[in-house]
Structure 1
Amino acid sequence: MSDEGVGRMRASDRAYDTLLDEIQSGLLSPGTVLGEVEQAARLGVSRTPLREALGRLAADGLVAQQSARVTVVTDIDAGDIRELFQVRRALEESAARIAAEHAGRGGAETFAALAAEFDVATLEGAAGLDAYYELIARFDAAVDDAVANEYLSAALRTVRTHLVRVRRLARDNPDRLAASVAEHRLIACAIAAGDTDLAAHATHVHLHNALVSILASVS
């Protein structure tokens, strides 16, 4: 590949990463118009890598093209959230069960350590919340490693891309967040113990509670 091609790919990756972060954080809210000329200038890239970045975001379902030069950030409604959780439940319950099965054959230390971190997790202030979500990200990565199934992990990555936006809806609900800490601790303990049924059932309860809370916040 030519140096020009590599440079364009890097510019496209930078534009994608920036726009993805802004959409997931809510800086670019649903309905925001992403004009091609304006966004290329703002991000300091040419229009070709910008189009590549927007194409990836469209494939993720995070933006939709309204015209040849205008793209908008997609909305999230209750129906979208329910559908996301239908897929999430199927994937995460299976992943928890498989991770527990594999952990039962060795390597349970990772999940025991994560359970201990959930046990002392604090949710104080923005820094505490960020640290908690970072802990969840490490827990998700550990599950992916334990499952060792790239097809399942790839499907989960797609779900998590959308989940970041949805999770923000529950960010200001301290009671729900505190319950979520305990739920994650139980899942991690079950995986560490190699208890496949408890890992799957605890995941089911966690996702049910999360969905109920999120739907209440958008109603």
Structure 2
Amino acid sequence: MRASDRAYAILLDEIQSGVLAPGAVLAEVEQSTRLGVSRTPLREALSRLTTDGLAVQQSPRVTVVSDVDTSDIRELFELRRALEETAARLAAERGDASAFAELALAFGQATLTHGDDLDAYYSLIAQFDAQLDAAVVNDYLTSALRNVRTHLVRVRRLARDNPDRLAASVAEHRLIASAIAARDADLAAHATHVHLHNALSSILTALDSPTGGSPAASPSTQGAA
């Protein structure tokens, strides 16, 4: 792995997990020393983070982690709805019906009683996303979806864990997968719309609460989105 790719991967993980909070200064000297890379690959990594929208260059020599506010989250979900509803329709038309039927069954059997169950659930969502990407057969769409998911990790972390929302999210994913397996494009798109509406409402409610949006929230207790 190139030095710039390694630096990017580490900084991306730290931003997504909250180790590097919004507003944190990504000083070149400090970060290059900490990550064990020279200034040139670090600058390449910072440039990629800036392009991704995860960092902002405040001046020629100062780069900071970008902020996430309610307006940003709403805009992210506007784009997410457009992309994921389209992807659900295309998957229903082009995807492997048996693969989505298996995913629907897995969502139906998912339990969220213990911490390990939650990790398994997020792994299942990652499998669903990967199958969705494979089904649409559209590199432009999947590239845009990957960028949205990069930001979504931070948004999920900012929301508190909500057992009721998690249970509802399982059922919503099961319906989406079932609709795709049945090649019902309209239902797949509608179920995706409902899921994203509920996910956004849950995140905004959590952020508005007195304890919501805590930077210390663990990735394993992210609100379902």
Tell me, yes or no, whether TM beats 0.5: yes
1:55 corresponding residue in structure 2: 47
Aligned residues: 208
Note the 1:15-30 alignment, pairs <5 A: 15-30=7-22
Structure 1 residue identity aligned to 2:33: A
Kept after mapping to 2: 8 A contact 1:170/1:176:
no
Describe the superposition over 1:138-189 as per-residue Cα deviations: whole angstroms up to 9, x where unpaired. Answer: 1011011110011111111111110111112335111111111110010000
TM-score (norm 1): 0.91
1:45 matched to 2:70? The reply is: no
Q: What is the distance in 2 between the residues matched to 1:13 and 1:201?
A: 38
The aligned residue for residue 204 of structure 2 is: 215
Deviations along 1:77-101, whole A, 9 cap, x unmatched?
A: 0000000000000110010011001
1:76 aligns with 2:77: no
Distance between the aligned counterparts of 2:180 and 2:159, measured in 1?
26
CA contact (8 A) 1:171 1:177 kept: no
The yes-or-no answer on 1:179 pairing with 2:168 is yes
Q: Which amino acid aligns with 1:97?
A: R
Pairs within 5 Å for 1:129-208: 129-208=118-197
Choose from 3, 11, 14 the match for 2:3: 11
Tell me, in whole angstroms, the C-alpha distance in 1 between the residues paired with 2:24 and 2:116: 28
| Aligned twin of 2:212 | none
Q: CA deviation at 1:132?
A: 1.4
The structure whose residues are more often helix, as a share, is 1
* TM-score (norm: length of structure 2): 0.89
Say if 1:170 and 1:177, in contact at 8 Å, map to a contact too: no
State the partner residue of 1:33.
Answer: 25
Name the SS of the counterpart of 1:65 in structure 2.
strand
Name the Cα RMSD after superposition.
1.2
The code of the aligned residue for 2:184 comes to D
Does the 8 A contact of 2:5 with 2:45 survive in 1?
yes
Q: Which runs of 4+ in 1 moved over 6 A?
A: none
- Report the residue type matching 2:25 in the other structure: V
Which of 98, 106, 112 aligns to 1:109? It is 98
| Partners of 1:43 and 1:182 in 2: CA distance | 42
Return the alpha-carbon distance in structure 2 between the equivalents of residues 131 and 50 of structure 1: 34
The gaps in structure 1 that reach 5 residues or longer are 1-8
Shift of 1:135: 1.2
Q: Following the alignment from structure 1 to structure 2, what is the Cα–Cα distance between the partners of residues 102 and 84?
A: 26
| Residues 40-80 of structure 1: CA deviation (Å, up to 9, x unaligned) | 11111111100000000000000011233321111110000
Label 1:195 to 1:176 Cα distance change in 2 as closer, same or farther (>3 A). same
- Helix, strand or coil for the counterpart of 1:64? strand
Partners of 1:181 and 1:114 in 2: CA distance: 11
Structure 2 portions without partners, runs of 5+: 209-225
